[in-house]
Amino acid sequence: MPEDTIFAKIVRGEIPADVVYRDEHVTAFRDIHPQAPVHVLIVPNRVIPSALDVTEEDEPVLGRLFTAARRVAEQEGLADGFRLIVNCRAHGGQEVDHLHLHLMGGEPLGPMRVRRR
């Protein structure tokens, strides 16, 4: 069932996470394997599997992901900037089938992608 993602369990409080923000649409918590000094995942409370599964009905919650990102960035002192990433399905390297924003910052992050040639 799509509701049974690991992130849905975190949203429902069934497994622990370091939650930094939550409201009626989204929940934000620290990534268990941070790749930057600040690495927070922001997820819709209701499962949307990936960026290829969003619909017009999801627009309020998709907008909330961004305002939540701004709130978390302010809380975390990221006034110098940060990076937001959404991985989608296999080629995007998506591991958890529950749409999420990666909010990463706390130091200069360098180029977005290392070119192969």
Residues known to be catalytic: 100
Strand partners, 41: 29, 102
The residue assigned the tokens 């907008």 is 63
What is the per-residue burial (b if ≥16 Cβ within 10 Å, else e) of 71-103?
bbbeebebeeebeeeebeeeeeebeeebbbbbb
Binders of ligand 5GP among residues 74 to 113 (CB under 6 A) are: 87, 93-96
Piece in contact with ligand 5GP (CB under 6 A), picked from 29-37, 45-53, 54-62, 73-81: 29-37
Please, what is the minimum distance in Å from the beta carbon of residue 113 to ligand 5GP? 14
Shortest spacing between CB 91 and ligand 5GP, in angstroms:
12
Six-digit token pair at 23? 């409201």
Identify the residue among 31, 53, 58, 76 touching ligand 5GP (CB under 6 A).
31
The answer to the question of residue 36 lying near ligand 5GP (CB under 6 A) is no
Summarize as ranges the residues that interact with ligand 5GP (CB under 6 A): 6, 17, 29-33, 41, 87, 93-96
